[in-house]
């Protein structure tokens, strides 16, 4: 049976995306995986659930990222030392062409384990997305003059629930505790956000359909596995954010986003209630998107001047899925604004305000 050409194309397109987003190692692995799949190599068995998938389904399921995530998880576990020795490290760049034969051997030796890893949808918690979201919260604090109730959906491990406990550099402007364990910067363009705003978080909570339990070493490792192995700064940041979340005993409730939002995020007088999320909307089924949009509209209709309701999100531009935006809708008026155009991992922010 010949390889599914849509699946081969998916691997090649994701390889290009990884290269464009600064991971030449994953880009190289995925190109070689595409060749291997086309030739009927060991990649075929791992990707069997997508043997007849359309290109859209393969992308929606993040099939290529599951594959490189599974290999990285194996490396991080220490159970594939020959492969690990060829992966990138701070003192060596890593060569995908040299690593690939060891990857093929690992796919055969650890096939069942890798198949189990790929069966679970990817879960990431890119902490640098806080550098895109935090200016939105600063905007809310400056414009309402109210304390904030922060509710995150699709929060994964809850690392971006701690956005106010990090230190930021927004171009020439800084905000947060200079001694914070998590330091976030970005390639900032545009005016500074309102860093002089008084920020007081009086309530915070989060949910996810399948939360990452940071107290479980295997789940911590899975979270790290989805950080690309040649991006050492990202790995260092997420490790620092995990340590902080563990110290603070951050909890993420296992719940459906629609029902949880309706139950928890109703506006309340004396504070601005903010529902927020990042890189989540596109993965929801259309029916769930519609249900959540109705719920948000219902909550917005309950807002008052003394108890406003905000919807802050970092998601692809509906008209151009290749571009990521930060949008803010604030009730009782329901005014919607594009605050920024941003990098998917927070590497740049073009602030519009």
CA proximity to 312, closest of 262, 260, 258, 274? 274
Of 98, 119, 140, which residue is a domain's last?
119
- CA 347 – CA 258 distance, rounded (Å): 30
The domain containing residue 49 runs over which residues? 5-119
How is residue 93 written in tokens? 């760049």
Is 139 in the same domain as 280?
A: yes
pLDDT of 114-129, one tens digit each? 999 999 888 888 999 9
pLDDT of 76-127, one tens digit each? 999 999 999 999 999 888 999 999 999 999 999 999 999 999 998 888 889 9
Is 160 in the same domain as 254?
A: yes
User: Within the chain, which residues score under 70 in pLDDT?
Assistant: 1
Is 168 in the same domain as 112?
A: no
pTM above 0.75, yes or no: yes
Other beta carbons within 10 angstroms of residue 27's beta carbon come to: 23
Element at 40 (helix H, strand E): none
Is 43 in the same domain as 137?
A: no
- Domains: count for the chain: 2
Is 169 in the same domain as 310?
A: yes
Is 196 in the same domain as 274?
A: yes
CA proximity to 77, closest of 255, 186, 224? 224
CA proximity to 170, closest of 126, 138, 127, 204? 138
- CA 153 – CA 252 distance, rounded (Å): 9
Whole-number pLDDT of residue 1: 58
- CA 247 – CA 64 distance, rounded (Å): 33
Of 90, 119, 148, which residue is a domain's last?
119
Is 105 in the same domain as 196?
A: no
Angle between helix 257-264 and 286-301 (nearest 10): 10
Residue in the structure block whose two tokens are 């399948």: 210
Partners of 278 in beta bridges: 314
Whole-number pLDDT of residue 284: 86
Whole-number pLDDT of residue 187: 97
Exposure b/e, 316-336, CB count within 10 A at least 16 = b: eeeeeeeebbbbbbbbbeeee
């Amino acid at each position: 049976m010949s390889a599914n050409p849509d699946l081969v194309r998916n691997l090649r397109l994701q390889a290009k995306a990884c290269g464009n987003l600064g991971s030449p190692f994953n880009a190289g692995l995925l190109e070689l995986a595409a060749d291997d799949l086309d030739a009927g190599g060991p990649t075929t068995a791992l990707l069997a659930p997508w043997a007849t998938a359309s290109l859209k389904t393969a992308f929606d399921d993040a099939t290529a990222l599951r594959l490189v995530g599974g290999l990285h998880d194996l490396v991080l576990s220490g159970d594939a030392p020959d492969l690990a020795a060829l992966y990138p490290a701070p003192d060596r760049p890593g060569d995908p062409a040299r690593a690939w034969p060891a990857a093929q051997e690992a796919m055969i030796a650890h096939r069942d384990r890798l198949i189990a890893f790929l069966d679970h949808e990817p879960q990431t918690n890119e902490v640098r997305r806080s550098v895109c979201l935090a200016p939105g919260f600063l905007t809310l604090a400056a414009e309402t003059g109210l304390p904030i109730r922060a509710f995150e959906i699709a929060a994964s491990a809850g690392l971006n629930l701690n956005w106010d406990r990090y230190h930021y550099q927004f171009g020439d402007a800084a905000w947060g505790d200079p001694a914070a364990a998590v330091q976030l910067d970005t390639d900032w363009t545009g005016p500074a956000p309102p860093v002089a705003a008084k920020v007081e978080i009086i309530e915070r909570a989060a949910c996810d359909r399948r939360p990452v339990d940071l107290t479980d070493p295997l789940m911590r490792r899975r979270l790290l596995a989805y950080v690309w192995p040649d991006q050492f700064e990202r790995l260092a940041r997420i490790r620092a954010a995990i340590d902080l979340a563990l110290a603070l005993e951050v909890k993420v409730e296992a719940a459906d986003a629609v029902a949880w939002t309706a139950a928890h995020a109703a506006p309340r007088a004396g504070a601005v209630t903010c529902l927020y999320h990042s890189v989540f909307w596109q993965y929801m089924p259309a029916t769930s998107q519609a249900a959540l949009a109705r719920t948000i509209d219902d909550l917005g209709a309950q807002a008052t001047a003394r108890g406003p309701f905000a919807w802050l999100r970092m998601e692809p531009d509906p008209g151009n899925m290749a571009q990521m935006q930060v949008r803010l809708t604030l009730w009782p008026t329901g005014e919607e604004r594009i605050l920024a155009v941003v990098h998917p991992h927070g590497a740049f922010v073009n602030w519009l305000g």
